[in-house]
């Protein structure tokens, strides 16, 4: 994905530099000033899209007057659309507004609740939510229909087969892209003496290069700026032919890779570079609640809330995963007190049970009885587990338990966690579904990476 984005960014820069004959300095400076003002809006956390609209229109007009293709405006404005996980504070504020609406269901509070929920998302997420359908199902297809069409007959094909334009475009995509992507990665790795390496194997790097030979929107845009008439048709044919051949080459490259022996295939696809971790701090068996062997090659960390229904649904999944003898499981508390009022006390009960060596037994009872987490219920669970009830109640209400939970919450904030359940596998955050099959596949890949790292130590 990064290769594709950078590829388009460079192509748009080429449009701005190579296909501009006469640059008007004053309109260009005005466009830069407008962009700076737009960036300041982002810095000061102005969230309304309507505030950015006049700046975008003015920047587009200034770029057009400067002589540079205004398509570059989309690139520049896109850089201001940050992507991030919703912050826990913003989510708590949104839940407060929703609670107010629940108490007084007025149209005004309904609007405030809707706006609060939407604004917890990053600008990038909100833009995708608003425009992805228009872009995917209207704008890009219309662009393709308007620009990809060429009249093909025998005479045109005979001329195009020997045309320098068609051949140049074809070989630039089919050969130039994989050579550039793989060669640049290899050069950087060599010059840094291996300190900077791809996060995947070289077969994956090469596959990323070959699939980058599939050009479409930006390719047609550059072709339309560079050529006209028959030459433009020949350039389009080169782009379309290259897309087909690049697809076949990519399939063949990965097909050959999958024929390698398993150890070599794993290194070729995944690489042996150290993986960046998202979990802060790392698992500490002296402090964390751990299930499973300490020497396991894979560690699964869950930030959970005992009253969260999604954590309750994930519990059978985790229990099935724990049948794996080479898996270590860690629970960290993240009580979402703004939506689950009994979650904090339940977490304190688990910590109090842990003080008597029964954390996991209490953990299982709490998740099995999420609808019964009042103090009387918690004391009943302590009795069921044959705990010292007086000590249990004292430990549950002591500062040590709340400090322990607060430390888990702090680690969640440092790790970018705002909701439950959130999983980390060998220190890397797991995105997407958390059903058995998805988590098993993620654990399998993590185990393969761990074995590669072990062999290359």
Structure confidence at residue 338 (pLDDT): 87
Kindly report the backbone phi and psi dihedral angles of residue 303, in degrees, each rounded to the nearest multiple of 5, phi listed first: -90, 120
- The stretch 5-9 carries a mean pLDDT of 82
Count the domains in the chain: 4
The token pair that represents 4 in the structure block: 């594709």
With a cut of 90, say whether residue 81 has pLDDT above it: no
Structure confidence at residue 117 (pLDDT): 84
Confidence band for 457, pLDDT divided at 50, 70 and 90: low
**Quick check: is 369 in a domain?**
yes
- Domain with residue 438: its CATH number is 3.40.30.10
Residue 323 and residue 369 in one domain: yes
With a cut of 90, say whether residue 274 has pLDDT above it: no
Distance (Å, whole) CA 168 – CA 274: 39
pTM of the shown model: 0.78
Residue 326 and residue 348 in one domain: yes
**Quick check: is 284 in a domain?**
no
- Of 40-44, 78-82, 178-182, 205-209, which gets the smallest average pLDDT? 78-82
Q: What is the pLDDT of residues 336-370, one digit of tens each?
A: 998 899 999 999 999 999 999 999 999 999 999 99
Confidence band for 296, pLDDT divided at 50, 70 and 90: very high
- The stretch 407-417 carries a mean pLDDT of 93
93 or 375: whose pLDDT is higher? Answer: 375
Q: What is the pLDDT of residues 206-235, one digit of tens each?
A: 999 999 998 888 888 888 888 988 899 999
- Of 118-132, 346-360, 376-390, which gets the smallest average pLDDT? 118-132
Residue 14 and residue 138 in one domain: yes
316 or 457: whose pLDDT is higher? Answer: 316
For 257, the domain range is 154-270
**Quick check: is 280 in a domain?**
no
Residue 447 and residue 323 in one domain: yes
Q: What is the pLDDT of residues 304-340, one digit of tens each?
A: 999 999 999 999 999 999 999 999 999 999 999 988 9
Residue 312 and residue 335 in one domain: yes
**Quick check: is 370 in a domain?**
yes
Count how many residues are written for the chain: 457
Residue 355 and residue 255 in one domain: no
Structure confidence at residue 418 (pLDDT): 87
Residue 262 and residue 344 in one domain: no
CA-CA-CA-CA dihedral for 282, 284, 287, 289, to nearest 10: 90
**Quick check: is 373 in a domain?**
yes
**Quick check: is 313 in a domain?**
yes
- SS3 annotation, the chain: CHHHHHHHHHHHHHHHHHCCCCCCHHHHHHHHHHHHHHHHHHHCCCCCHHHHHHHHHHHHHHHHHHCCCCCHHHHHHHCCCCCCCCCHHHHHHHHHHHHHHHHCCCHHHHHHHHHHHHHCCCHHHHHHHHHHHHHHHHHHHHHHHHHCCCCCCHHHHHHHHCCHHHHHHHHHHHHHHHHHHHHHHHHHHHHCCCCCCCCCCHHHHHHHHHHCCCCCHHHHHHHHHHCCCHHHHHHHHHHHHHHHHHHHHHHHHHHHHCCCCHHHHHHHHHCCCCCCCCCCCCCCCCCCEEECCCCCCEEEEEEECCCCHHHHHHHHHHHHHCCCCCEEEEEEECCCCCCCCCHHHHHHHHHHHHCCCCHHHHHHHHHHCCCCCCHHHHHHHHHHCCCCHHHHHHHHHCHHHHHHHHHHHHHHHHCCCCCCCEEEECCEEECCCCCHHHHHHHHHHHHHHHHHHHHCC
**Quick check: is 279 in a domain?**
no
Residue 433 and residue 415 in one domain: yes
With a cut of 90, say whether residue 4 has pLDDT above it: no
Residue 163 and residue 107 in one domain: no
With a cut of 90, say whether residue 255 has pLDDT above it: yes
- Of 33-37, 128-132, 294-298, which gets the smallest average pLDDT? 128-132
**Quick check: is 8 in a domain?**
yes
Residue 106 and residue 65 in one domain: no
Residue 350 and residue 435 in one domain: yes
With a cut of 80, say whether residue 21 has pLDDT above it: no
Residue 296 and residue 439 in one domain: yes
Q: What is the pLDDT of residues 136-161, one digit of tens each?
A: 888 888 877 777 777 777 888 888 88
Structure confidence at residue 164 (pLDDT): 94
Among 109, 142, 175, which residue terminates a domain? 142
With a cut of 90, say whether residue 53 has pLDDT above it: no
Q: What is the mean pLDDT of the chain?
A: 89
């Amino acid at each position: 994905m990064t290769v594709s984005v950078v590829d388009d960014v460079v192509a748009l820069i080429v449009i701005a530099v190579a296909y501009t004959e006469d640059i008007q300095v004053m309109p260009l400076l005005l466009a830069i000033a407008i962009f700076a003002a737009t960036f300041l809006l982002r810095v000061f956390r102005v969230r309304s899209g309507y505030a950015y609209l006049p700046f975008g229109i003015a920047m587009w007009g200034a770029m057009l007057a400067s002589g540079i293709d205004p398509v570059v405006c989309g690139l520049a404005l896109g850089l201001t659309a940050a992507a991030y996980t919703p912050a826990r504070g913003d989510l708590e504020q949104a839940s407060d507004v929703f609670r107010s609406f629940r108490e007084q269901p007025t149209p005004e509070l309904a609007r405030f609740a809707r706006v609060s929920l939407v604004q917890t998302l990053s600008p990038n997420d909100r833009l995708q939510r608003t425009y992805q359908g228009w872009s995917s199902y209207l704008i890009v297809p219309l662009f393709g229909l308007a620009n990809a069409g060429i009249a093909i007959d025998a005479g045109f094909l005979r001329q195009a087969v020997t045309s320098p334009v068609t051949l140049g475009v074809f070989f630039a995509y089919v050969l130039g892209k994989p050579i550039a992507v793989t060669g640049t990665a290899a050069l950087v790795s060599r010059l840094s003496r291996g300190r900077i390496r791809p996060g995947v194997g070289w077969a994956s790097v090469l596959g990323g290069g070959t699939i980058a030979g599939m050009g479409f929107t930006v390719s047609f845009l550059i072709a339309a700026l560079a050529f006209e008439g028959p030459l433009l048709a020949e350039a389009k044919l080169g782009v379309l032919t290259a897309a087909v051949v690049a697809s076949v080459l990519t399939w063949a490259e990965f097909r050959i890779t999958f024929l390698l022996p398993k150890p070599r295939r794993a290194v070729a696809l995944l690489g042996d570079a150290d993986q960046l971790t998202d979990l802060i701090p790392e698992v500490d068996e002296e402090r964390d609640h751990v299930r499973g062997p300490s020497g396991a090659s894979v560690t699964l960390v869950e930030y959970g809330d005992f009253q969260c229904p999604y954590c309750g649904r994930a519990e059978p999944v985790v229990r099935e995963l724990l049948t794996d003898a080479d898996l270590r499981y860690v629970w960290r508390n993240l009580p979402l007190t703004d939506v689950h009022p009994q979650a904090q006390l339940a977490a304190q009960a688990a910590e109090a049970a842990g003080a008597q060596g029964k954390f996991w037994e209490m953990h299982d009872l709490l998740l099995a009885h999420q609808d019964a987490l009042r103090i009387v219920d918690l004391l009943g669970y302590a009795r069921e587990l044959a705990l010292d009830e007086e000590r249990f109640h004292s430990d549950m209400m002591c500062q040590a338990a709340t400090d322990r939970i607060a430390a888990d919450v702090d680690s969640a904030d440092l790790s970018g966690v705002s909701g439950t359940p959130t999983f980390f596998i060998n220190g890397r955050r797991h995105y997407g579904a958390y059903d058995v099959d998805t988590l098993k596949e993620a654990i399998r890949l993590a185990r393969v990476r761990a074995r590669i790292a072990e062999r290359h130590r």
